[in-house]
Amino acid sequence: MQTLNVTLGERSYPIHIGCGLLADAALLSPYLKQKKAVVVTNVTVAPLYLEALLGALAQSGVAAQPVILPDGEQYKTWETLNLIFDALLGSHCERSTTLIALGGGVIGDMGGFAAACYQRGMPFIQVPTTLLSQVDSSVGGKTAINHPLGKNMIGAFYQPRLVLADLSTLDTLPERELAAGLAEVIKYGLIRDPDFFVWLENNLDALIARDKEALATAVARSCANKAEVVAADERETGERALLNLGHTFGHAIETGLGYGAWLHGEAVAAGTLIAAELSARLGWLTAGDVRRIEQLFVRAGLPVNAPKLGAARYLELMRHDKKVQDGKLRLVFLEQIGRAVVADTVSEADIAAAIEARCT
């Protein structure tokens, strides 16, 4: 097991990475103030991993109530969130009752948002079961639900007390979901870790084959990068915005097509290639850099061209993005592979041209 720490003063917490962790009572028990907990999961994950987690909690003397939600981005809504509140209220949960999110990014985001809201804040543990959630969404305290006009527009910054990234759960992950997670892994190499990008070029086949040593390295390196960024800028007033490379375009894809049509990582991959295209047009990346980025995403099994929604529709959707300030759209660009920058001075005409160049 490897352990990293997110350093946020009194809100600091560990990230444990290894195999078989969700069944380890010793890792969970220090974070359970009450002999009562609620486990939020979904219909896909529950048959695979709920029993093991409930067993670990029982070893710690904790009685846990499962809340099993439907599976999919299209259920990341107020209506589904209320199912969690119904269970918390129905079980007379207190402010000190711990909520455990067992699942991918949707479950982690909704579970965290519910924990932030219930009685103005209850303890919360992340047990991510997808690669994307292990390397990105479970770390950093972003919690949210979607709105028909924009993804993740309603939420709160709320840090977990503990993250347990059990690599064994990746054995049952569908290939499409594994690929989607690789989009976020590649992102860290692109924005701030060029040596990691080279490592990914050399080890991508091992990751696709689910080699545990390679996965452990990729998850740990990704989490270390994110932990450093979050520690420096918890509420995204500066450097943390760089983590959104490709996301403004990607969120437009998800919203425009309808939540769930494309996986988040798929949309981020296509969005990253739009950002790379635009960066090249601005004179930062070379054509060779763009080809190198594209080849890695193709090898990962990810889309590198965006759907044809029309540049005007993309821009309309992007104006709902959280990074819009004073009416200006702020985007993440690549000055080179391994170094990103945020800028709001690029014209909509240039953005539209880059979108059209990467749409099929």
For the chain, first and last CA: distance in Å? 43
Let me know if 226 is a catalytic residue.
yes
Let me know if 244 is a catalytic residue.
yes
Active-site pick, 36, 192, 225, 236: 236
Task: Establish how many alpha carbons lie within 13 A of residue 128's alpha carbon, considering only the half-sphere containing its beta carbon.
Answer: 28
Active-site pick, 36, 226, 322, 358: 226
Closest CA to 28 of 130, 136, 160, 131: 160
Closest CA to 252 of 314, 344, 332: 314
Closest CA to 224 of 143, 296, 136: 136
Active-site pick, 73, 177, 184, 277: 184
Let me know if 299 is a catalytic residue.
no
Name residue, tokens 């918390």: 88
Let me know if 240 is a catalytic residue.
yes
Let me know if 147 is a catalytic residue.
no
Active-site pick, 36, 42, 76, 142: 142
Let me know if 5 is a catalytic residue.
no
CB-based contact 322:155 (threshold 8 Å): no
Distance between CA atoms of residues 71 and 17, nearest Å = 25
Active-site pick, 76, 161, 187, 264: 264
Please provide the DSSP assignment of 1-55 as one string. Answer: -EEEEE--GGG-EEEEEESSGGG-HHHHGGG--SSEEEEEEETTTIIIIIHHHHH
Q: 24: how many CB neighbours lie within 10 A of its CB? A: 17
Let me know if 142 is a catalytic residue.
yes
Active-site pick, 146, 152, 225, 244: 244
| Helical residues (DSSP H) of the chain, grouped into ranges | 25-28, 51-59, 78-90, 105-117, 131-132, 175-192, 194-208, 212-232, 247-257, 264-281, 287-299, 311-318, 348-357
Let me know if 35 is a catalytic residue.
no
The SS3 call for residue 149 is: coil
Let me know if 335 is a catalytic residue.
no
Distance between CA atoms of residues 354 and 348, nearest Å = 10
In the DSSP assignment, the letter for residue 359 is: B
Q: 234: how many CB neighbours lie within 10 A of its CB? A: 17
User: Tokens in use for 44?
Assistant: 């896909």
Scored b (16 or more CB within 10 A) or e, 329-352 reads: bbbbbbeebbebeeeeebeeeebe
Active-site pick, 36, 151, 161, 240: 240
Let me know if 184 is a catalytic residue.
yes
Active-site pick, 221, 247, 322, 330: 247
| Residues assigned a catalytic role | 120, 142, 184, 226, 236, 240, 244, 247, 251, 264
